[in-house]
């Protein structure tokens, strides 16, 4: 891996292949890996879910990520500019994709604030206060003051890195945070596996339960993968536009996939066995939603020897994962503003901060002062989450596949991959983008609209 500096255009870019991979992996590795993946794996048959997920990663995920990074590097533009330069009739697709990070960033930072609060509690030795029946958590989010403060701190941390720029901010921070994250997750993983009873949990996690396999397993794995790889929201297009021409695209995508999947797998290795030990083998303790991370896990840490240290390490880990993801969200929006409106990075960043604070307050208040206000029966945060993940993102990915598969033709991306080496999985790529991915996206869209998984 060459570390030499050949940063492109004046808009800046990643200075090394490793920097790009770690920044993109930083975006991919987030709350989805640590919070959602373990729960889904436990629910959908353990090993069989892992297997399905792995197969989808190297086929479906690979094709979509290669497409986005390829589009970004080839056009050198932010998401709106990129889509309209491929085909001007597809400009609305760029706007739709751009709207996704605008919607996600504020509420992602609200949840990031919750994580910071728990990290602070564990660091200051108050982690045990968070254990119990869940009243600590409901008290915390039920009063707007503290969630607002932690939300603002999380936004400020994100903005600080983005303001420093792609190579001096994002790349530098990712090169430190991602290795630390990896070491932490391995360390906690090893420790939890030494707990008495953990091996039963491990077996439950990795042993395929074929009777739990159904089409739902595949749909759940597909939806998770899609979210986990930060696809269909312009992030990978933006990061691709900062990637050096001399770095191998296909190899980089493979590395990002490995990193993302390894972290998800290791998170499961921590969460499934430790919750198993704590609950005496009751798998239903692995329920989804905020309660797993903010109620069940503090109880698990409280019950284990050295739980204060493990809990601290765990919430530092989650904070790092969430921060590198929110950085990628903010960078995507900032890149659009600087390119579209000719505004410089720092003022553009301040605009994004202002808007995110305003919109994010809806999510904060949705759990406290305005908890009776709902949109179509959803609280603000859940509504933003539903619309972006279940509706907008599958549409963006579907139309992108149609654009690249049939209008611009897959050669558009293939040529970009081949700029510096052979495209080993070209045939797979072509079949995926033209036929399989669009069908998968339709299935995700359909299932999230009409089926409750």
Residue 379 contacts ligand PHE per CB under 6 A: no
Residue 38 contacts ligand PHE per CB under 6 A: no
Range in contact with ligand PHE (rule: CB under 6 A) among 9-17, 225-233, 281-289, 426-434:
225-233
Residue 324 contacts ligand PHE per CB under 6 A: no
Residue 227 contacts ligand PHE per CB under 6 A: yes
Residue 325 contacts ligand PHE per CB under 6 A: yes
Which of 28, 155, 188, 237 is in the footprint of ligand PHE by CB under 6 A?
28
* 3-state SS track over the chain: CCCCCCCCCCCCCCCCHHHHHHHHHHHHCCHHHHHHHHHHHHHCCEHHHHHHHHHHHHHHHHHHHHHHHHHHHHHCCCHHHHHHHHCHHHHHHHHHHHHHHHHHHHHHHHHHHHHHHHHHHHHCCCHHHHCCCCHHHHHHHHCCHHHHHHHHHHHHHHHHHHHCCHHHHHHHHHHHHHHHHHHHHHHHHHHHHCCCCHHHHHHHHHCECHHHCCHHHHHHHHHHHHHHCCCCCCHHHHHHHCCCCCCCHHHHHHHHHHHHHHHHHHHHHHHHHHHHHHHCCCHHHHCCCHHHHHHHHHHHHHHCCCHHHHHHHHHHHHHHHHHHHHHHHHHHHHHHHHHHHCCCHHHHHHHHHHHHHHHHHHHHHHCCCCCCCCECCECHHHHHHHHHHHHHHHHHHHHHHHHHHHHCCCHHHHHHHHHHCCCCCHHHHHHHHHHHHHHHHHHHHHHHHHCCC
Residue 39 contacts ligand PHE per CB under 6 A: no
Give the residue closest to ligand PHE by C-beta: 30
Least Cβ distance, residue 228 to ligand PHE (angstroms) = 4
Least Cβ distance, residue 391 to ligand PHE (angstroms) = 15
Residue 228 contacts ligand PHE per CB under 6 A: yes
Which of 158, 230, 335, 400 is in the footprint of ligand PHE by CB under 6 A?
230
Nearer Cβ to ligand PHE (20/278): 20
Least Cβ distance, residue 306 to ligand PHE (angstroms) = 27
Residue 356 contacts ligand PHE per CB under 6 A: no
Least Cβ distance, residue 404 to ligand PHE (angstroms) = 21
Contact set for ligand PHE, span 49-68 (CB under 6 A): none
Site residues (vs ligand PHE, CB under 6 A): 27-28, 30-33, 104, 227-228, 230, 233, 325, 328-329
């Amino acid at each position: 891996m060459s570390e030499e500096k050949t940063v492109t255009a004046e808009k800046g870019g990643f200075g090394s292949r490793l920097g790009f991979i770690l920044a993109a992996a930083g975006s991919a590795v987030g709350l989805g890996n640590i919070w959602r993946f373990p729960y889904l794996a436990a629910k959908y048959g353990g090993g069989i879910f892992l297997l399905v997920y792995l197969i989808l990663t190297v086929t479906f995920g690979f094709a979509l990520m290669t497409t986005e990074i390829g589009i970004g590097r080839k056009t050198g533009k932010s998401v709106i500019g990129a889509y309209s330069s491929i085909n001007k009739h597809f400009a609305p697709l760029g706007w739709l994709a751009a709207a996704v990070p605008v919607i996600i960033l504020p509420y992602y930072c609200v949840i990031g604030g919750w994580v910071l609060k728990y990290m602070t509690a564990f660091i200051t030795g108050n982690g045990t206060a968070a254990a119990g029946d869940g009243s600590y958590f409901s008290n915390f989010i039920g009063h707007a003051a503290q969630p607002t403060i932690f939300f603002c701190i999380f936004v400020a941390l994100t903005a600080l890195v983005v303001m420093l720029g792609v190579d001096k901010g994002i790349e530098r921070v990712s090169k430190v945070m991602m290795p630390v994250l990896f070491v932490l997750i391995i360390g906690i993983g090893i420790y939890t596996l030494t707990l008495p009873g953990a091996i039963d949990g491990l077996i439950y996690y990795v042993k395929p339960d074929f009777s739990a396999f159904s089409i739902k397993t595949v749909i759940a794995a597909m939806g998770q993968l899609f979210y986990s790889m930060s696809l269909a929201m312009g992030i990978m297009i933006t990061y691709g536009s900062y990637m050096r021409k001399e770095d191998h695209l296909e190899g980089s995508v493979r590395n990002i996939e490995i990193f993302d999947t390894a972290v998800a797998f290791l998170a499961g290795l921590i969460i499934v066995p430790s919750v198993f030990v704590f609950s005496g083998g009751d798998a239903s303790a692995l329920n989804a939603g905020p309660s797993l991370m903010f109620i069940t896990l503090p109880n698990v840490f409280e019950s284990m020897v050295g739980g204060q240290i493990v809990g601290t390490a765990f919430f530092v880990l989650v904070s790092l994962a969430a921060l590198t993801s929110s950085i990628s969200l903010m960078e995507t929006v900032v890149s659009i503003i600087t390119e579209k409106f000719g505004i410089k990075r720092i003022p553009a960043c301040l605009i994004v901060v202002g808007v995110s604070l305003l919109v994010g307050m809806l999510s904060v208040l949705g759990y406290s002062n305005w908890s009776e206000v709902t949109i179509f029966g959803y609280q603000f945060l859940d509504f933003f989450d539903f619309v972006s993940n279940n509706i907008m993102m599958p549409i963006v990915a579907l139309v992108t596949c149609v654009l690249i598969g049939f209008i611009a033709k897959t050669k558009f991306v293939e040529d970009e991959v081949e700029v510096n080496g052979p495209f080993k999985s070209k045939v797979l790529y072509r079949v995926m983008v033209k036929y399989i991915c669009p069908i998968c996206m339709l299935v995700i869209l359909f299932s999230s609209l009409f089926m409750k998984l």
